Structure 1
Amino acid sequence: MTTVPGTQVIGRVAAVLRAVSVAMPRGLGTSAVATATGLSRPTAHRLLSSLAAEGFLDHDPLTGRWVPGPELYLLGSVAAERYDITGLARPIVRSLAEATGESAFLSARRGDETVCLLREDGSFPIRSHVLYEGIRFPLGVASAGLAILAFLPDPTVEAYLESTDLAAFGDSHSPRRLRTRIAETRAAGWSINPGLLVEGSWGMGAAVFDASGQPAWALSLTGIEARFSRDRRPELGRLLLEHAHRLTQALRGR
């Protein structure tokens, strides 16, 4: 297999930038970046300093933490013209939160992960804080990632399950159990996470499809277990699917 020159460095830089961005708004210290990326501390510091010199990161000398810099903002502003759907999605996410009373989210597929882009809180005063804007999960872990994974083509799903180790998230994320949950999601149309990440914090999700019919985003709801009773889940699922369809249609009409 031929290795493209420089790919290791690019991979490390990408890992550093992701680690810092996920830790917003507080940022990360050098040691925390090294831990998050699996790099040695000297290597992490060298990359962080180089990125800061180019304007991609900033360093707070008082706290010792690294945060995204102005160049990332400028590049992101340009990329947003093609990839940002939050303006279109926000009213729909807000409508979902208002209709259910729960916290509603929009997440995007990014490779083998989902990234939370939007959060709108409903009227119910007790909330789950497992999800927040910027957090990433592997596909199949949170309800949004399960909803997306379930509607990918079978060969893609199998290749992912065979190559991905989700043992860190517990036995409920073994390939065998995920296959069962994928089948259940396909049958219902929506996914459910019955407190598998944090005990007592439940979630449900529905896929949002791009112009080619692939699941590229997901809407999801999170809340306490009592709010996701067996009797209420069909209604929550119906609302999720209704809002996911609205967003899918809106994206196709852009």
Structure 2
Amino acid sequence: MLRPPSAPAAHSGNRVQVIDRAMTLLDILMRTPRGASALELAQATGLDRTTVHRVLRTLAHWGMVQAREGTYTLGPKCLVLGTAHHDRLGIRRAALPHAIELQEKGVGKRRAVVSISVPALDEVVIIERIWTPSVPLNIIADIGTHFPLDASVSGRAILAAWPAEKGAAHIGAERYAAVSEKLETIRAGHGISFALSEMRPGVGTLACPIYGRDGEAVAALIVAGLALEDELRPDSPLAQHARRSAASISATLQAG
């Protein structure tokens, strides 16, 4: 059953209704890889089916959605816009050499993946990942995979680095309060976030924030893999290597 998206925690008044409706439909299709019919979208949103059809036709004209046999999915323009956004940030370009070095010298022969994620409203999105042939495919997150900021290792690393007001604006005061104790633990551990078996059984994950030109966290550097239990502490060799790599990426971004 399709579910309407939650409204972003940070929003302003005087919005344009038809754009709100278009974004709601795009958000549902983003979370529905198989696609959905206009009737299903109307039922999920409570909108009139005729209105849904008109919005979808306009989105299709701009390449934001595409239709096949009555089923709508995201269109190719979404990929163009998403790529343009993270290219503008320059994070992937700045991070890639350091992520490769971390994979080769920090991770070494461990069965682990090095990834980069960036925040997007109340989620984080994977924009890059590096691994070796020994890593099981079922622990490699695809580029574009997204997780809640407050319910993911990299998301909490970013939240812990942000001022409380900014974090609450992104995920809402209630969600922020629920995770605040974990954020304090991360801050006390040199800003490194850890978890074991959070996303997949047996997978250990650590993440360090990456800082942009304004000094605020704009991304996270992640190591996730098997048999990492001994590395899930702030003073472990892998955690310290990841922290140095994140600092190097931050320095590159801040240097412009």
Q: Relative to 1, partners in 2 of residues 1:87 and 1:183: Cα closer, same or farther, differing over 3 Å?
A: same
Q: Which amino acid aligns with 1:91?
A: P
Match of 2:65 in 1: 57
Q: Distance in 2 between matches of 1:67 and 1:79?
A: 17
Question: What TM-score comes out, normalization by structure 1 length?
Answer: 0.76
The C-alpha deviation readout for 1:13-38, integer Å capped at 9, x for no partner, is: 22333444566xx6523379739x94
SS in 2 for 1:236: helix
Which of 31, 35, 44 in structure 2 is aligned with 1:28?
35
C-alpha distance in 1, partners of 2:27/2:96?
Answer: 24
Equivalent residue letter for 2:161: F
Q: From 7, 10, 21, give the equivalent of 2:19.
A: 10
User: CA separation in 2, counterparts of 1:199 and 1:45?
Assistant: 42
| Worse-superposed segment, 97-106 or 242-251 | 97-106
Which structure 2 residues correspond to residues 1-254 of structure 1 after superposition, within 5 A? 3-6=13-16, 8-21=17-30, 28-30=35-37, 34=41, 38-40=44-46, 42=49, 44-61=52-69, 64-69=71-76, 71-72=77-78, 75=81, 79=85, 82-98=88-104, 99-100=106-107, 101=110, 102-122=112-132, 124-126=134-136, 128-129=138-139, 131-157=141-167, 163-165=173-175, 175-176=177-178, 178-189=179-190, 190-224=192-226, 227-230=227-230, 233=233, 234-254=236-256
Change (3 A) 1:11 1:228: farther
Cα gap change, 1:158 to 1:31, in 2 (>3 Å): same
| CA distance in structure 1 between the aligned counterparts of 2:99 and 2:40, rounded to whole angstroms | 32
Cα gap change, 1:126 to 1:33, in 2 (>3 Å) = farther
AA in 1 matched with 2:91: I
Deviation at 1:161, TM superposition (A): 6.8
Can you list the C-alpha shifts for 1:188-234, whole angstroms capped at 9, x where unaligned?
A: 2210122233332321100000111111110111123xx22235641
Following TM superposition, where does structure 1 have runs of at least 4 consecutive aligned residues deviating by more than 6 angstroms? none
Which amino acid is the alignment partner of residue 26 of structure 2? L
SS at match of 1:114: strand
**Structure 1 counterpart of 2:75, one-letter code:** P
Report deviation, 1:130.
6.7
Query: Deviation at 1:47?
Result: 3.1
Distance 2:195 2:38 in 1: 33
Sort the Cα spacing of 1:131 and 1:16 in 2 relative to 1 into closer, same or farther, 3 A.
farther
CA deviation profile, 1:57-116 (whole Å, cap 9, x unmatched): 22234x9352323x4455556555522432232222222222314111111112322111
Retained in 1: the 8 A contact 2:194–2:232? Answer: no
Paired with 1:129 and 1:103, the residues of 2 have a C-alpha distance of 8
Contact 1:20 1:66 in 2 (8 A): yes
Question: 1:169 — aligned with what?
Answer: none
- The aligned residue for residue 5 of structure 2 is none
Question: Normalising by structure 2, what TM-score?
Answer: 0.76
SS of aligned partner of 2:199: coil
Q: Which amino acid is 2:18 matched to?
A: V
* In structure 2, C-alpha distance between the alignment counterparts of 1:188 and 1:203, rounded to whole Å: 15
Aligned residues: 236
- 1:138 and 1:145 in contact (8 A); partners too: yes
Change (3 A) 1:74 1:156: closer
Q: Per the alignment, do residues 106 and 38 of structure 1 end up closer, same or farther by CA in structure 2, a change over 3 Å counting?
A: farther
Farther off after superposition, 235-244 or 42-51: 42-51
Q: Provide the rounded CA distance (Å) in 2 between the counterparts of 1:139 and 1:157.
A: 9
